[in-house]
Amino acid sequence: MFKAKVFVSLKQSVLDPQGQVITNALHSQGYTSVVETRVSKYFEIMIDTNDKQKAEADLKSICDKVLANPNTESWKYELEGV
Amino acid sequence: MFKAKVFVSLKQSVLDPQGQVITNALHSQGYTSVVETRVSKYFEIMIDTNDKQKAEADLKSICDKVLANPNTESWKYELEGV
């Protein structure tokens, strides 16, 4: 069994309006030292196999085809045995 | 300047319908080894201060009051100097 931790983030060049709204809200509540907020998605995926290579191959394919929009988002993952 | 990495996740006892939908979609696409998916939010927050204690105090307050719903969500963070 493997646990995959997947981060799907907007590419650095893509505007993050949700993050901007949070930054503005924090400023208006007095947290003036916050200069930038970026919002991403984080997935924890349990994969039931003993074959790490297959788990990684599946995971890359899942990130590319299901979890991320390759036009605007990038992804990375960590895979650990559990 | 500090970079905070904040994870806001549904508590383990709370159902995650979005994760369930993704698991079902993955099964229908042939990724049958996936047994569970949980979806969380991930924030990267840049904090412009040299005072690590103040940055941590602000961050805890931000997580509790702004980013997470304490009824259904838990949070954790990592803080690193940049």
Q: Sorting pLDDT into bands at 50, 70 and 90, what band is A9?
A: very high
pLDDT digits 0-9 by tens, A42-58:
999 999 999 999 999 99
A7 near A42, Cβ under 8 Å? yes
Does CATH number 3.30.1280.10 belong to domain B2-81? yes
- For residue B41, which of B73, B13, B71 has the smallest C-alpha distance? B73
Cβ contact, residue pair A39, B37, below 8 Å? no
CA distance A81 to chain B (A): 14
What does the pLDDT read at residue A54?
A: 93
Q: Sorting pLDDT into bands at 50, 70 and 90, what band is B62?
A: very high
Nearest CA in chain A to B12: A44
Chain B residues inside the 8 Å CB shell of A12: none
Contacts of A66 (CB under 8 A, 6+ apart): B22, B25, B26, B29
CA distance A34 to chain B (A): 4
- For residue A16, which of B58, B73, B42 has the smallest C-alpha distance? B42
- Distance between CA B27 and CA B29 in Å, rounded? 5
Cβ contact, residue pair B45, A66, below 8 Å? no
Q: Sorting pLDDT into bands at 50, 70 and 90, what band is B11?
A: very high
Chain A residues inside the 8 Å CB shell of B39: 41-43
Run of H or E residues at B43? strand B34-47
Q: Sorting pLDDT into bands at 50, 70 and 90, what band is B60?
A: very high
CA distance A11 to chain B (A): 13
What does the pLDDT read at residue A4?
A: 97
Domain boundaries, chain B: 2-81
What does the pLDDT read at residue A10?
A: 95
Q: Sorting pLDDT into bands at 50, 70 and 90, what band is B32?
A: very high
Cβ contact, residue pair A45, B58, below 8 Å? no
Which of A22, A39, A58 shows the shortest C-beta gap to B31? A58
What does the pLDDT read at residue A48?
A: 96
Does ipTM exceed 0.90?
no
Run of H or E residues at A59? helix A52-62
